Amino acid sequence: MKRAAVVVNPTKIKKMPEFRRHVEQVMRSYGWAAPLWLETTVDDPGFGQARTAVDQGVDMVAALGGDGTVRNVASGLLDTGIPLGILPAGTGNLLARNLGLPVRNHFAGLRAAMAGRDRAIDTLCVQIDTTGDGEPDEQAICTVMTGCGLDAEIMASTSDKLKDRASWLAYPIAGLKHINAGRTPMRIAYDDGDLQPIRPLTTVLVGNCGELTGGVTLMPDASPDDGALDVVELSAKGATWARLVSQVLRAARKETKQVRRRTAYSVRIECAEPTRVEIDGEVHDHALTVQIAVKPKSLLVRVPR
């Protein structure tokens, strides 16, 4: 019999014994054995559990949690040939959303994983230099999107309490307090090109997937398995915010002073001052340089047939 591992963020489940029984029942209905059960911790939010599951030789690893849990579990499955199932339990559930998976129900996600097919998607390798010595001191895997600047500030200021009350609307609500935030001088290099002239930017987003919550398509040409990165440079101040928001909501491709789009295989972002970075919603502080490279088709994910 096939066997899966289920990696669970325990803060997302109120009645764990009942939930476990239901999961085992669903898996038995597909002819699978009772799963290996692994819970995340503050010190290990998913990577170690995924590696344990790989060592146990499971046929699939299902991650229950938000985008952070999914990212950490995925980072332990890269290039293993073991597929990731997504049981959505977060606010955004962006990877599930971009792959056409259920985004609001654990068990719908579980059934989609059990009955689905494997799809190889790209991931992003993100290296962060926080000291300015030119050597990265943090490294992470990203499955959806990495942002440098305002979007990371918004993530950092959005409380769990607000997310529980307002769901995805918590992010635009929290963003209102940053509407007058200043821009950060940044220089960007694409692939092996030279750094561009310094430019004051609100945020730079580098993505593998383009759709956000609320039906907003930030990167209309992004595809999770095209072997490339999609990049959006955003710059707004004062009255120009209206033009930026309008262009983003319309998914307009025309380049303006507020919105610039690029496609690349690697991106280097240099910030004139320590700047927050978010990786699939997880915030890292005080980055001076961020380097992002695509890892083509490095992760298998169970998607609907």
Report the top-level CATH class of 123-297.
mainly beta
What confidence tens digit (pLDDT) does each residue in 52-106 have? 999 999 999 999 999 999 999 999 999 999 999 999 998 889 999 999 999 989 9
Which pair of tokens denotes residue 154? 């918004």
The total of other beta-carbon atoms located within 10 Å of residue 168's CB is: 18
Phi, psi of 198 (to 5 degrees): -60, 140
Give me the residue spans of the domains in the chain: 4-115, 123-297
What confidence tens digit (pLDDT) does each residue in 154-188 have? 888 887 776 777 666 666 666 666 676 789 999 99
Q: Are 286 and 184 in contact (CB under 8 A)?
A: no
- The tens-digit pLDDT sequence of the chain (305 residues) is 999 999 999 999 999 999 999 999 999 999 999 999 999 999 999 999 999 999 999 999 999 999 999 999 999 999 999 999 999 998 889 999 999 999 989 999 999 999 999 999 999 999 999 988 888 999 999 999 999 999 899 888 887 776 777 666 666 666 666 676 789 999 999 998 999 999 999 999 999 999 988 788 899 999 999 999 999 999 988 778 778 878 887 777 888 889 999 999 999 999 999 999 999 989 998 899 999 999 999 999 999 98
- Smallest CA-to-CA distance from 86 within 223, 226, 280, 217 is with 280
- Homologous superfamily (CATH) for 4-115: Probable inorganic polyphosphate/atp-NAD kinase; domain 1 (3.40.50.10330)
